[in-house]
Amino acid sequence: MQIYLPIAEISVDIILLLAMGGGVGLLSGIFGVGGGFLMTPILIFVGVPPAVAVATQANNVIASSVSGVFAHWKRGNVDFLMGWILLIGGFIGSTLGVGLFTFLKSLGQIDLVINLSYVIFLGTIGLLMMLEGIKAVFRRRKSGGASRGKLHEHNWFHGLPLKMRFRKSRLYISALLPFGIGFFVGVLSAIMGVGGGFILVPAMIYMLGMPTAMVIGTSLFQIIFVAANVTFLQAAQNQTVDVVLALLLLVGSVLGAQVGTRIGAKMQGDWLRLLLGILVVMVCGKLFLDLLIEPADLYALEMAE
């Protein structure tokens, strides 16, 4: 059954949309990730204009983050001070990001930048995850148990000014650090239509040195507001948020995530990381090939506004 999406202005099979939502929800449940980085490229593959895919996915990120943040909040795993500073950076970053998006769209280069951002950022993270997964699986086979790494290292950025005490995370670091990370992830979430968890979570663990338990709740808290900001600005500036598409994807992803969480609980962490790494590298590989292979028609049509 076809459904006409009012903002994307295309007809798509409703079963396909539900299946996509379900599939990505399943994976995000298994791996405990947002899934935006998978959904946006898939939406583009099925013919949703990239600008609409990115903005609509930002809207979806709000929903999935909200449903996740409650549980962490109740356990006291949200560092609100850290969250607010990340958020201030995120707000400024995502506002500039949407501005950049609009500008690149007017230049006709937004599709290229979306694709390149995916290939560079997601590809790097995916490769690292894959390597780390392989290492961990290999190591466990040899020694029979995973060894613990260092908590965090001291780098140049620990010498930055404006130091603040973050009691919940038991940290005394420069406020510029979470601000900068929030800013960077804000720009990315505006351009890539992702929550940014895949950058934010490793950055909070490895750069800020936050306790892992605190990271997920705090990042979700920040992501909700940044995604809301992106949704609002995309809707207001570019009219690219498709609520019908968002709702249909949501139904599938809520159900899929429920099943996925149960499967994920039964699997080993290292294997999960390896599989997720492979998945991410495959998605990036496809996007990268699209950039390298000569298109069938060098000319493409764009409806002028």
The residues that touch another protein, with contacts defined as CB under 8 A, are: 1-4, 6-7, 9-11, 59-60, 62-68, 70-71, 108-109, 111-112, 116, 228, 231-237, 239, 241, 243-244, 246-247, 250, 254, 257-258, 261, 291-295, 297-304
Residue 232 beta carbon to another protein: minimum distance, rounded to whole angstroms: 4
Residue 280 beta carbon to another protein: minimum distance, rounded to whole angstroms: 20
Residue 179 beta carbon to another protein: minimum distance, rounded to whole angstroms: 24
Beta strand extents in 95-140 (DSSP E only): none
Residue 277 beta carbon to another protein: minimum distance, rounded to whole angstroms: 24
Cβ distance to another protein smaller for residue 205 or 243: 243
Residue 250 beta carbon to another protein: minimum distance, rounded to whole angstroms: 5
- Residue indicated by tokens 């936050």: 210
Residue 275, C-beta contacts closer than 8 angstroms, at least 6 positions apart: 31, 133
Residues 224/62, Cβ–Cβ less than 8 Å? yes
Nearest to 127 by CA among 202, 57, 46: 202
Cβ distance to another protein smaller for residue 266 or 293: 293
Cβ distance to another protein smaller for residue 137 or 243: 243
Cβ distance to another protein smaller for residue 67 or 124: 67
Residue 217 beta carbon to another protein: minimum distance, rounded to whole angstroms: 13
State the Cα–Cα distance between residues 9 and 207, nearest whole angstrom.
42
Cβ distance to another protein smaller for residue 157 or 288: 288
What is the CA 55 to chain-centroid distance, rounded? 13
Ramachandran quadrant class, 170 (left: phi over 0; alpha: psi -120 to 50; beta: rest) = left
Residues 123/216, Cβ–Cβ less than 8 Å? no
Exposure string of 222-254, with b = 16+ CB inside 10 Å and e = fewer, is bbbbbbbbbbbbbbeebebbbebbbebbbebbb
Cβ distance to another protein smaller for residue 207 or 245: 245
Length of the chain: 305
Two structure tokens written together for 54: 């990115």
State the Cα–Cα distance between residues 69 and 64, nearest whole angstrom.
9
Cβ distance to another protein smaller for residue 179 or 221: 221
Residue 49 beta carbon to another protein: minimum distance, rounded to whole angstroms: 11
